[in-house]
Amino acid sequence: MIKQIINAALGKVEPDIIFKNATVVDVFAHKLVECDVAVSCGKIAGLGTYSGTHEVDCTGKYLMPSFIDSHIHIESSMLSPSEYAKIVVPKGVTTIIADPHEIANVCGEDGLKYMMDSAQSVPLDIMYMLPSCVPATPYDSSGARIGSAATKRLLEEYDFLGLGEMMDYPGVISANDETLAKIQSAQICDGHSPMLTGKELCAYVSTGILTDHECTSAEEALEKISLGMYVQIREGTSAKNLSELIKAINPYTLRRILFCTDDKHINHIIENGTISNCVGKAVSLGVDPIDAITIASLNAANCYGLRGKGAIAPGYTADILICEDITAQNILEVYKDGNIVARNGNALFEKIAVSHEKVINTVHIKEFTEEAFELDFTPGMSVIKVLPDTLVTKRITKDTPDGLNYCAVIERHNNTGNVGLAWVDGFELKRGAIAQSIGHDSHNITVVGSNPKDMATAVNALGTQGGIAVACDGKVIAQLILPIAGLMSDLPAETVNEEHEKVVASAMALRDNYDVDIFMMLSFISLFVIPEIRLNDRGLFDVTTQNYI
């Protein structure tokens, strides 16, 4: 193969494909180059003047490296990996760094095997990271556990790129032996250290943890870059940090910045893409277009040691976008390994069905009555305050329950009957209730409602398969079934999106305020590794003090 590429570069043999008269985005020298690009054996052979039988006219069009999502949980799309590929590849992403810790917390190794098997049949390079925190914290009631011994074994047996986000930052900075053993098992380890600073941040970074996607201010991002980390600017469904974090981009920090989506729902992916959305938004806010493309491609490849990815240069993999504009908002064609895989927003490939029998019927709960969700209000009691465009919550107090909603988390893996109750401010659900088997990261059932009766109706509708249910006046008015671990559908993306839109519309009809994405934010109510106050099946928890309230 290498001789074929060399001879194609020299013009001695005809390339497999030639992109003629293209405006190439050079992410190395930060410039645009007018030339032809020759591809042979799935690799870029040369840039210059070439001719051959298979030519693609790129006159007036931009040729750029395809994009890399540097941190993503596929499960949050509610699609199987192969269906996820069908909606992100046409939008310019051909490589993702995926952490399957959602399904791992439900199904353990069976879940990891399913995700890997499902990724084999699509033109999307899914680089899996082995989940580092199953469960996320010692306080979680998860469906599986992966300790340090299992971590070492799984890294040896499977083709993981490295260790997924180390969310247990208290375990790191307290030098917990079990936590450190996990980190030392891998060459690459992703991070998760919201608002960590000073000596504690130094202690966290000293273990070799490479990245962080939880920055909420430019100052936080700059401190982490100065300590050697890569900062992943996240633009997902609930957490939207790009507008603030681009303030940290300058000629010196540029190469330490990546883009990621982390958690993004199917409707938002279909509506505006993932990394192409980051590129377009960054440019609209003043970032140089070539810098934005560099962040979206080469930087992620360099961070994760993906040799031969992220640029249009000789020897690099021919993962290429043909775009009408330099901001990649109109992607005409997508090429993976030199083969066209998407055109005009449509995938040109089909998935191959993968057995998922070991990861279904994962919801194990009794039938609930409304009494289980009744909670007396006491003036001055602690309340969870949810906020727009961030996963951070605030601990507040209220004198009356006016404007508040009931919230509950129900253990669903072992039918323990555990139910944690609290009041929440910011969802502004005027009627009805919403229940889902999505609750990061242990994925117990989370439910929010205006009244206990509709909460019970919504929870009971989930059955053994799970998903999302919206109830009002004692009836289920919309439902999305997610049979794969209670997190993902086994249906085509188009069908899932239609059903999801119905659920969204039904929920919106019950609310007055849409600033907070109720489904995504509800799923994070139980995640104890993001400040400030959370709820799980055992009760209300203060993340800053690491104590139950």
**Cross-strand bridge partners of residue 340:** 335
pLDDT for res 516 = 86
- Which pLDDT belongs to residue 109? 97
Q: What per-residue confidence (pLDDT) applies to 246?
A: 96
CA 153, chain centre distance (Å) = 25
Distance of CA 302 to the CA centre of its chain: 20
Which is nearest to 236 in space by CA: 125, 441, 76, 467? 76
DSSP at 69: E
Both tokens of 512, joined, read 């007055």
Residue 537 in contact with residue 368, Cβ under 8 Å?
A: no
Q: Which domains does the chain have, with CATH numbers?
A: 2-60 (2.30.40.10), 65-357 (3.20.20.140), 360-548 (no CATH)
Residue pair 149/176 in contact by the 8 Å Cβ criterion: no
Rounded Cα distance, 480 and 483, in Å: 10
**How far apart, in whole angstroms, are the C-alpha atoms of residue 366 and residue 416?**
9
Contact 327, 292 (CB under 8 A): yes
Task: Please give the pLDDT value at position 50.
Answer: 96
Please tell me the distance from the alpha carbon of residue 277 to that of residue 255, in angstroms, as a whole number: 20
pTM: 0.94
Over its C-alpha atoms, the chain yields an Rg (Å, rounded) of 24
Distance (Å, whole) CA 304 – CA 293: 17
pLDDT at 351: 77
In angstroms, rounded to a whole number, what is the distance separating the alpha carbons of residues 464 and 226? 48
Q: How far apart are CA 527 and CA 535, in angstroms?
A: 8
Enter the DSSP assignment of 160: -
HSE-CB for 392 with a 13 A CA cutoff: 14
Residue 352 in contact with residue 82, Cβ under 8 Å?
Answer: yes
For 321-358, give the DSSP string: EEESSTTSSSEEEEEETTEEEEETTEE---------GG
- The token duo for 127 is 């680089």
pLDDT at residue 149 in the model: 97
Token pair for 514: 């849409």
Instruction: Compute the distance between CA of residue 543 and CA of residue 287 in angstroms, rounded to an integer.
Output: 35
Q: Tokens 């608002």 sit at which residue? A: 195
Distance, CA of 385 to CA of 397 (rounded, Å): 9
Q: Are 97 and 69 in contact (CB under 8 A)?
A: yes
What pLDDT score does 202 carry? 98
Query: Cα–Cα distance between 320 and 312 in angstroms, integer?
Result: 8
What per-residue confidence (pLDDT) applies to 378?
94
User: Residue 331, by phi and psi: left (phi above 0), alpha (psi -120 to 50) or beta?
Assistant: beta
How is residue 497 written in tokens? 């999106």
Q: Tokens 């007396």 identify what position?
A: 376
User: What is the sign of the dihedral through the CA atoms of 529, 532, 535 and 541?
Assistant: positive
Count of helix runs (H) and strand runs (E) in the chain: 17, 28
| H, E, C per residue of 16-46 | CEEEEEEEEEECCCCEEEEEEEEEECCEEEE
pLDDT means over runs of 10, the chain (549 residues): 94 97 98 98 97 96 98 97 96 98 97 93 95 91 95 96 95 95 97 95 98 96 98 93 96 98 95 97 98 98 98 98 97 98 95 87 96 96 93 94 96 96 95 97 96 98 98 97 97 96 95 84 92 95 92
